[in-house]
Amino acid sequence: MPISNNRLLLELEKHRREINREIINPQFPELALGDLKPLLTMVAHARAAYVRELLDIANVSPNSVPSQDQINHLRRCRETFEELVTAANALETVIQRDYLDVKSSTPGH
């Protein structure tokens, strides 16, 4: 790749970071690990509900195809789980890319 392309990409990344930080950071207080625990708990509950639904279907329909109602409920559980995971990943990206201030943890706490 020519040097001018590399420079453009570096400048593009710099502007993207500045614009995202400028827009995202003021909308949220600094986050600490403890602030994220409810989010992690919510995602874990959605994951458990999705897997539980699958196992429940298998227990009541071990030798047959699940009913359309069972599949619809399983789909709703999956959609909920996947949406929460996608949102949690978006938050993780915001943190990784330094678009949002985070509270530094104190050693030993």
Per-residue tens of pLDDT for the chain, all 109 residues = 677 999 999 999 999 999 999 999 999 999 999 999 999 999 999 999 999 999 999 999 888 999 999 999 999 999 999 999 999 999 999 999 999 999 987 655 4
Q: By CB neighbour count within 10 A (0-12 exposed, 13-18 middle, 19+ buried), where does 91 fall?
A: middle
Distance in angstroms (rounded) separating the CA atoms of residues 81 and 98: 26
* Alpha carbon distance 90, 100 (integer Å): 12
Q: Provide the pLDDT for residue 3.
A: 77
Q: What is the pLDDT of residue 2?
A: 74
| End-to-end Cα distance, the chain | 47
What residues pair up with 102 in beta bridges, in sequence order?
Answer: 31
Whole-model pTM over 0.85: no
Token digits for 55?
A: 């196992």
102 contacts 24 by C-beta, under 8 angstroms:
no
